[in-house]
Amino acid sequence: MPKFAANLSMMFNERPFLERFAAAATAGFSAVEYLFPYDYPAEVVAEKLRDAGLNQALFNMPPGDWAGGDRGLASLSDRREEFESSLVKAIAYGKAIGTPLLHMMAGIAPADDPTAASCYVDNLKKAADATAEAGIGLVIEPINKRDMPGYFLNDFNRAFDLVADLDRPNVSLQFDIYHRQIMHGDVITALRQMAPRIGHIQIAAVPTRHEPMTGELNDRMIFEEIDALGYQGYVGCEYRPAGVTEDGLGWMSSI
Ligand SMILES: O=C(O)C(=O)CO
């Protein structure tokens, strides 16, 4: 069975963010991930993680003005300086908290815009260099258009090719099974094809984004395949619990 990380941006939302670490540990998780730690001092987040005895799996680079609609900065050619500052901040938090992986969000830009594409590749290289120097891995994730309309990186083959073309040991693909199924389907074949470049996996039921094992996919078969592929990382539980988080955790003991 894969190792699971609780996603604290979606799970354990019955309590404030900093209290979710202890709740995840109490529920039996050994690791956590979340979107953004930046509303809190890095030392405070690191302490919560340590006190709960948890491992950090991943978090995202600062996305710009999330409430204002930003979903990352990497493809935004008029915001290159802001991207660079966000990279510095992400690495400072990454070192303090001890994350093995940072997710670089692409931003809202037309996927076929050559200016956005070249800005994205420039920023990907910058982030690859800076994170490698810090000893941190970098992941990029294709996200489906229904959940994130206008998101630049909206195709798994494109994301895979970007990672393969760059070919850096610290840069890999974040393979969210929920997004994959909505965008392309063919989950197991894609896992097999992309396995050498996958650095992080996430899961949720399709189409509800609720608990695994409650959607249209055969999640048990997918978990068996992830194990068979020799994947050593965490599978992030990036799902919105259908009710109280703890009440919905039975899927984990059922596999
Ligand atoms: O929206 C998602 O699926 C994300 O993982 C954003 O980081």
Q: pLDDT of the chain along its 255 residues, tens only?
A: 999 999 999 999 999 999 999 999 999 999 999 999 999 999 999 999 999 999 999 999 999 999 999 999 999 999 999 999 999 999 999 999 999 999 999 999 999 999 999 999 999 999 999 999 999 999 999 999 999 999 999 999 999 999 999 999 999 999 999 999 999 999 999 999 999 999 999 999 999 999 999 999 999 999 999 999 999 999 999 999 999 999 999 999 888
Query: Residues 206, 212, 214, CA angle at the centre, nearest 5°?
Result: 65
Active site residue 238: yes
Residue 208, pLDDT score: 98
Give rounded-to-5 percent helix, strand, coil for the chain: 40, 15, 40
Residue 52, pLDDT score: 98
Residue 125, pLDDT score: 98
Helix (H) or strand (E) holding 158: helix 156-166
226: left (phi over 0), alpha (psi -120 to 50) or beta: alpha
Residue of 179, 183, 200 best suited for mutating to test ligand 1, as the one with most atoms within 8 Å of CB? 179
Rounded distance from Cα 33 to ligand 1 centre (Å): 11
| CB contact at 8 A, 183 and 156 | yes
Pairing of strands 137-140, 3-7: unpaired
Residue 255, pLDDT score: 84
Catalytic residue among 141, 211, 224, 246: 141
Residue of 10, 11, 35 best suited for mutating to test ligand 1, as the one with most atoms within 8 Å of CB? 35
DSSP per-residue letters across 201-227: EEE--TTT--STTSSSS-HHHHHHHHH
Out of 3.20.20.150, 3.40.309.10, 3.40.50.970, 3.40.250.10, select the CATH number for domain 3-253: 3.20.20.150
Handedness of CA 172, 37, 71, 145 (dihedral sign): positive
